[in-house]
A and B are shown apart, each in its own frame.
Chain A
Amino acid sequence: NAGVTQTPKFRVLKTGQSMTLLCAQDMNHEYMYWYRQDPGMGLRLIHYSVGEGTTAKGEVPDGYNVSRLKKQNFLLGLESAAPSQTSVYFCASSREADNSPLHFGNGTRLTVT
């Protein structure tokens, strides 16, 4: 009963380094999302995907790239990390329906120094 799994749970990067956050879901969901959570700002959508091989920009996409090569996986990349990208990142998935609830992973806490 894994649901949505994110790796890693924690990471510290130096400015300019790159990394990839991994998200996997085992519910056969079509839609997947990456959000970032910052104090006092709620969750903001970075990128999303409506199916294998598709990606689209959300509210705050700059500095991030994504890929959805397999239906169950959604990868978030930071090519050149900046301190402003220090945040908690959440992956979520949902069925192909407007009112379907989002299922969230437990988050990745990223610190960029």
Chain B
Amino acid sequence: GDSVTQMEGPVTLSEEAFLTINCTYTATGYPSLFWYVQYPGEGLQLLLKATKADDKGSNKGFEATYRKETTSFHLEKGSVQVSDSAVYFCALNAGGTSYGKLTFGQGTILTVHP
């Protein structure tokens, strides 16, 4: 079945450091890929998405490129801020008759110190 694997956390960085959170997936067909972010005490919010190979999703300084050859969708940001501290989830939608259902990775906790 479909699955998403994220890098082990937690990740702790200093403000203005470079961020990479790795995400790889297994899926049949041509999935759409997403990054969601969860701030403390809140539900998940869509951060960015990519719907086909080589697409780059971007939002709020975060970027991720859909790499079909390596089945990856790594999240990057050039300079993190304290306000980026949150849990980040990689997810896929298998398409077809999936009815929008998402398969999530286990989440990566990011803490950014001043």
A106 to B39, CA, bound (A): 10
B interface, by DSSP: helix, strand, loop or mixed?
loop
Of B14-22, B64-72, B75-83, B93-101, the stretch lying at the interface with chain A is B93-101
Tally of A-B residue pairs with Cβ under 8 A?
Answer: 62
User: B43 to nearest A CB, angstroms?
Assistant: 3
Q: Does the CB pair A43–B43 fall under 8 Å? A: no
User: A39 to nearest B CB, angstroms?
Assistant: 9
Task: Give 1 or 0 for each of A94-108: 1 = CB within 8 Å of chain B CB.
Answer: 101111111011110
User: A110 to nearest B CB, angstroms?
Assistant: 15
Task: Give 1 or 0 for each of B1-27: 1 = CB within 8 Å of chain A CB.
Answer: 000100000000000000000000000
Number of interface residues of A (CB under 8 A): 28
Query: A101's contact among B42, B46, B89, B101, by CB below 8 Å, is which?
Result: B46
Q: Among residues 80 to 102 in chain A, which have CB atoms less than 8 Å away from a CB atom of chain B? A: 90, 92, 94, 96-102
User: B84 to nearest A CB, angstroms?
Assistant: 19
Q: Does the CB pair B101–A43 fall under 8 Å? A: no
Q: Does the CB pair A58–B101 fall under 8 Å? A: yes
User: B86 to nearest A CB, angstroms?
Assistant: 14
Task: Give 1 or 0 for each of A23-37: 1 = CB within 8 Å of chain B CB.
Answer: 000000001010100
- Starting from the known contacts A4-B43, A43-B89, A106-B42, 9 additional A-B residue pairs (CB-CB under 8 Å) come to A31-B99, A42-B89, A58-B101, A96-B100, A98-B95, A98-B98, A99-B51, A100-B100, A102-B36
